[in-house]
Chain A
Amino acid sequence: MAEGDRLTESPSGQRGVPDFVGRPGPSAYHRLNPLTKATLATATAIAAVALGGLVGPIVLVTAAVIGPALAAGVLGRLVRTALLLSLPIAVSAFLVNLFFFPGASQVLLRIGPITATAEGLGFAAEILVRILAISGAVTLFYLTTRPADMTVDLERRGISPRVAFVTNASVQTVPAMVERAGQITAAQRARGLDTEGSLWRRIRGVLPIVGPVILGSIAEVEERTMALEARGFTRPGRRTLLWAPPDTGAERLIRWAVLLGLVALIAARIGGWLG
């Protein structure tokens, strides 16, 4: 591993820690320290809300999400994942504001008893951009950071292994539950459960799947806890780390600058200087 911190060099050659452990990511953005990427994602999400309006968040998303995603070669996946994550809430928020914005007077369109208004459209667009900024920032972090790297980096910084584990395991639980849901769906369909067709049929089809997914996940938690205990995870004190992601002075500077900028932005928003 060329760029990571190996902590100590192995004298044992081939039987030491292999190079693929902590292998640097494929792009400069991937290779940023996980804490730097987490700071950027959090700051982007908060700033998108604090900025208000349309232009500010759009410029922010372009600079802090789309640009880095393009440079990291994950723009396509980012757009798909961010839209999947945010579309249900974004669409509902957009429609509610478009048609039911309180006190709006400029009518754009009438559909039966409901009216779309210009004020509603403006506010809905602002909400939409903020939601997309938040989901885009989170997705960019997720697509460019291996969960294991984040865990190792948190531990290296003195965070309890348990806290680091819970942080990581929470992220990992989502794909595991999706996979379990897929397996249960296939099993239920093989036994004649109809999960296709009309909306009502789909809703009825989902109910027998939700129970096993949730109960199965809860049951697995106990087994997983036992397996972790049996592997010495609850042992007090520090664990051995095989490697740690590199962290440079420049990155530390960037993190502090971003945090200070965010604090200034929030202060400006609270103080009313942003209009």
Chain B
Amino acid sequence: MTISLAGVGYRYAGATAPALLDVDLELRDGEVLGLVGASEAGKTTLCLVVSGLAPRTVGGQIRGAIRLDGEDVDAWPMHRISERVGIGFQNPATQLSQVTGSVFEEVAFGPMNLALPRDEVAERTWSALESLRIDTLAERDPVRLSGGQQQLVALAGLLAMRPEHLVLDEPTAQLDPAGTRLVADAIERLAADGASILVAEQKTDLLAAICSRVVVLDGGRVAQLGPAAEVLGDRRLRDLGVAEPSAVRLQRAAEAAGVHDARLSEALAGG
């Protein structure tokens, strides 16, 4: 179960400059790939392209090849891609369907669209709610929840669709540390089950904890791609508009202060 991009470029309708240029990327089985970059680097655009929404829903022009588990998806309609690739956005309010009366029905919305048997819809919905520990919210009206709760509900809605591939654009933007941890746990469980996951995030601490590799975008191009510890520990990261994880900052501060303690290094390396 892989998603591969080869020489992918993308230009929004009416834009003079491309938002993505010559992107080569492979998202592997069971892998969590972190995506970082400064504002306007192309992170959201890459998420839209990988999920198939660009250009199918967004419009614009795309070039290069995108393959889903080896198949060229160029001619696939969006609903076919959505059965395999899920995408979550930063703003929870726009991810809710707003036509359901309870959190349970909101999370069930995707599986219902897939015309799954009723019992399977219910089973998937409970499972997704429990995995994010929001089953106690099942009866609540989704539009009356806090932003953080809505984000978890939106994510549960994606999990209930059991996508083979998941694209998350700033999934923890509105979450407190506890909510962020729940999302991280859910992502790790999905990956352990074999899903490949692309996570665009500003919180590099989170990426350091859950990603095997990290890609850095700069001006729509891949500036760096490699193992998470290597990329997130690179001193050029700040020049690319990305803050290092706190463990890296602490390590550097300790080195600058002349503190050389094996136990500290070991603790920081362990996250």
Residues of A within 8 A of B (CB): 7-8, 10-12, 15-18, 20-21, 146-149, 151, 161, 165, 168-169, 172, 176, 220, 222-242
Contacts and interface: CB of A to CB of B under 8 A. Distances in A.
A242 B118 contact: yes
A7 B82 contact: no
B259 interface: no
Given A226-B89, A231-B161, A10 B122 contact: yes
A34 B244 CA distance: 56
Interface string B99-110: 111101100111
Nearest to B90: A223
B94 interface: yes
Nearest to A17: B122
Contact of A226 (B58, B105, B112): B58
A16 B161 CA distance: 17
Contacts of B209: none
6 contacts: A10-B119, A15-B122, A220-B91, A223-B95, A229-B79, A234-B78
Nearest to B97: A228
B268 interface: no
A149 B105 CA distance: 12
User: For the side of the interface on B, what is the size category?
Assistant: 35 or more
Interface of B: 48, 51, 53, 56-58, 77-79, 82-83, 85-87, 89, 91, 93-102, 104-105, 108-119, 121-123, 126, 138-139, 143, 154, 157-158, 161
B102 A236 contact: no
Given A165-B99, A223-B89, A231 B115 contact: no
B135 to A, nearest CB: 10
A239 B57 contact: no
B117 A240 contact: yes
Contacts, number: 138
Contacts of A230: 51, 53, 82, 85-87, 158
A226 B53 contact: yes
Given A168-B99, A231-B113, A232-B110, A11 B119 contact: yes
Q: Which 5 residue pairs are nearest across A and B when measured between Cβ atoms?
A: A232-B113, A223-B94, A235-B79, A231-B110, A148-B101
Contacts of A237: 115
A227 B89 contact: yes
Given A151-B99, A231-B158, A232-B113, 14 more contacts: A15-B122, A21-B102, A220-B93, A222-B58, A223-B89, A226-B87, A226-B89, A230-B86, A232-B82, A232-B114, A233-B97, A235-B82, A237-B115, A242-B108
Contacts of B138: 18, 20
A242 B112 CA distance: 8
Nearest to A11: B119
A273 B3 CA distance: 72
A242 B121 contact: yes
A183 to B, nearest CB: 11
Contacts of A165: 97, 99
B115 A239 contact: yes
Nearest to A12: B119
Contact of B118 (A17, A149, A151, A223): A17
B136 to A, nearest CB: 12
Contacts of A146: 101
